[in-house]
Amino acid sequence: MIINDTNNNTEIERFKRLVDISSDWVWETDDKGVFTYSSGGAERILGYSTGELVGKNYKNFLRKSELNENHDGFTKELHTHIKKDGTDCIMESVKIAKLNENGLVVGYMGVDHDITEKVTTLKKLEEQFSEIEKRNKFLIDRELKMIELKKENEELKKKLENK
């Protein structure tokens, strides 16, 4: 993508162009959770165009949500989104409330980052580690049994020698 930097471009337009080329998904909702803005990242990650998201409630695209952390003014969550092809996409989401002049929440804005591959790899590693632990326990138990049998064997040899 080539960007012409002319004085006619406002800071907002420049920011929107920058956001649209990001690999993350930048979004805004109203206070009811209806998307009012969606960057191009949604199409790259989930397969939904901006037109398919804006005007729709975020819950329509969400399979599961887990609250991770609450910080001063923003929330970090894990969401499992439903991609356009029906598969799951695990996203790390950071959001902040938009407040009006009276301090009331009028919506949210946030950034979602696809961590599906990271989570999948971590689960595989955990499964492999669990399998290694099981095998290790089996080998240790077998070795302990062998030591026990050797002791019994030695005791039997001594009894036979004493007869």
Query: Tens digits of per-residue pLDDT, 123-152?
Result: 999 999 999 999 999 999 999 999 999 999
**62-104 confidence digits (pLDDT tens):** 887 665 555 556 788 888 999 999 999 999 999 999 999 998 9
79 forms beta bridges with 65, 91
CA dist 12 and 29 (Å) reads 18
3-state secondary structure 77-126: EEEEEECCCCCEEEEEEEEEEEECCCCCEEEEEEEEEECHHHHHHHHHHH
Q: Would the CA dihedral through 30, 36, 42, 46 be positive or negative?
A: positive
Mean pLDDT of 147-163: 88
Mean pLDDT of 2-17: 67
Q: How confident is the model at residue 2 (pLDDT cuts 50, 70, 90)?
A: very low
**Inter-residue contact 46 to 83 (CB < 8 Å):** yes
**18-52 confidence digits (pLDDT tens):** 888 888 999 999 999 999 999 999 999 999 999 99
Per-residue confidence (pLDDT) for residue 1, from 0 to 100: 41
